Amino acid sequence: MADAKTIAHWLNNATFTGAGATAPVTAPVTNPATGAVTGEVLLASVEDARAVIDAAAAAYSEWRDTSLAKRTQVLFRFRELLNARKEELAAIITAEHGKVLSDALGEVTRGLEVVEFACGIPYLLQGGFTENASTAVDVHSVRQPLGPVAVISPFNFPAMVPMWFFPIAIAAGNTVVLKPSEKDPSASIWLAELWAEAGLPAGVFNVLQGDKTAVDELLTNPKIKAVSFVGSTPIAEYVYRTGTAAGKRVQALGGAKNHAVILPDADLDLAADAMVNAGFGSAGERCMAISVCVAVEPVADELVNRIAERTRTLRTGDGTKGADMGPLVTKAHRDKVASYIDAGEREGAKVVVDGRGVQADGGADGFWLGPTLLDNVTPEMSVYTDEIFGPVLSVVRVQSYDEALNLINSNPYGNGTAIFTNDGGAARRFQNEVEVGMVGINVPIPVPMAYYSFGGWKASLFGDSHAHGAHGVHFFTRTKAVTTRWLDPSHGGINLGFPQNN
């Protein structure tokens, strides 16, 4: 504790420790691989939140009027700095989240793709022009920024998820307030410092540390014009309802229960590899993790055996020491995930691989839970109904493609799904019939490229706008149509009738 750093807010290109006269409230930040407290993050008061929001509002008019050429130059500099120093950011992520370094580096690289997409903002903001739409009347459209916007991001991707949003928002001329998770907040400050180094003017990118107090101020403060959120479904619904009630544009991406269907004709080695990678990568703390493997008989026994063989080879440990899978983010979360394994076992699931007693290569007080494989899971069990967000892969056995499809479509979530098959007709039918926003065919984690949209259906998304791609540009801009007429000094005279084109 004596060596714990203080992780502050970021305002006007400098650290900000608060607006109040009283001592700030803090929360501990831990290294999940050791259990040690490595930092204390400030938790914003309402006054702190308003100070950060006011900075974003004050910077907006100048940044909005900055030319696209100058904005793009800043984006390119940020991209170059991020690419050159991405290993540094990955190490920060591993130290506070726990994911292994290779996974953290992959997270940064996927976020970098959105920065690269945003570098093309001059083309993406092109409007339209119609000459002589009516006699001597021209019409054109423009896309303009909204104003100060908020990004509320989760713990599982402290760099990538914010980068789904803020590069496009900034490139389009908005200013940003990022509210990261209090569990792993240091990546946000590192990114803020990089923006300043890239030449972004003060107040355009700001960081507000905190909990519900900070979130509620972002959702209700009239200076914030839009909110982007990623998190659990109950909180996503709260963010959407509260923000829209305050007159804001809101995109709130919620939880998931992602299924992968394994048809009898599938390559079982490919499918088994994919289930292990997608089920246990990042200790299952991904909104795109496969948590349900739907085995279409008669392949379930063989598939479970192959998944189990691979799972038992995984090494759980400190993410900086070459382990395959790291710890969970907090002790409380580790214990919650373990309780789902307990419940599944009580309810009749077979524990094929048990991660509760894992011997991890890491600190004795780390938040360890090994990869766990459950067979004979049924839709009534809590291990199936709930989003566990941990390294628990459940196998549900079904008799047909139709049964598998109905299982997925009846689930309240609709974030991501996958099918493994060598039958092109079955794959095409699945991609058409499944009620899920992102689909993989022989691909276990169908996270789209930056120039496509990211988002689910049903209870996995509140609002009508997905993240990044054209959806992101649409979300962070609004369209204005301008009708123009330049005539000689004579005019058409008085006419109170509704204008008609001629």
Dump pLDDT digits (tens) for 376-388.
999 999 999 999 9
In-domain check, residue 476: yes
CATH number of the domain to which 468 belongs: 3.40.605.10
Would 334 be classed as within a structural domain?
yes
pLDDT one-digit tens code per residue, 90-148: 999 999 999 999 999 999 999 999 999 999 999 999 999 999 998 889 999 999 999 99
Q: Would you say residue 152 lies in a domain?
A: yes
Residue 223, pLDDT above cutoff 90: yes
Examine the domain organization and report whether 207 and 228 are in the same domain: yes
State whether 141 and 107 are in the same domain. yes
* Token duo for residue 97: 């989240």
Q: Which of 11, 287, 352, 405 is catalytic?
A: 287
- Spatial neighbors of 247 by CB under 8 A, at least 6 apart, are 222
Question: Does pLDDT of 1 surpass 90?
Answer: no
Say whether 119 is catalytic: no
pLDDT band at 22 (very low <50, low <70, confident <90, very high): confident
Residue 492 in domain: no
- CA dist., res. 251 & res. 253, Å (int): 7
Question: If residue 483 lies in a helix (H) or strand (E), which one and from where to where?
Answer: strand 477-485
Q: What percentage of the chain has pLDDT greater than the value 90?
A: 92
Largest CA distance in the chain: 88
Residues 295 and 431 in one domain: yes
Residue 85 domain-assigned (yes or no) = yes
pLDDT confidence of 20, banded at 50, 70, 90?
confident
pLDDT at 502 over 90: no
Q: Cβ distance 176 to 56 under 8 Å? A: yes
Give the pLDDT of residue 490: 55
Residue 363's domain comprises 258-441
Residues 25 and 152 in one domain: yes
Mean of per-residue pLDDT scores for the chain: 96
CB 316 within 8 A of CB 371: yes
pLDDT of residue 489: 57
Q: What is the mean pLDDT of residues 188-214?
A: 98
Same domain, 150 and 83: yes
Last residue of a domain, one of 411, 441, 471: 441
Count of the separate structural domains present in the chain: 2
Residues 95 and 204 in one domain: yes
Please give the Cα distance from 192 to 179 (Å, whole number). 12
- What torsion, rounded to 10 degrees, do the Cα atoms 330, 333, 338, 341 define? -150
Mean pLDDT of 189-210: 98
- Per DSSP, helices labelled H in 44-144 are 46-64, 68-84, 86-97, 101-118, 121-124
Q: Model's pTM, two decimal places?
A: 0.95
- Rounded to an integer, what distance in angstroms lies between the CA atom of residue 467 and that of residue 243? 17
Q: Look-up: residue for tokens 């093309």?
A: 120
The residues, any chain, with a CB within 8 Å of residue 227's CB and separated by 6 or more, are 149, 150, 151, 152, 218, 219, 239, 243, 248, 249, 250, 251, 252
- Which structure tokens are listed for 306? 């192959």
pLDDT digits (tens, 9 = 90+) for 329-345: 999 999 999 999 999 99
Amino acid (one-letter) located at 6: T
pLDDT reported for residue 415? 96
| Number of C-beta neighbours around residue 258 at 10 A | 30
Beta carbons within 8 Å of 331's beta carbon, 6+ residues apart: 35, 367
pLDDT above 70 (res 488) = no
Question: Which of helix, strand or coil describes residue 227?
Answer: strand
- Domain assignment present for residue 146? The answer is yes
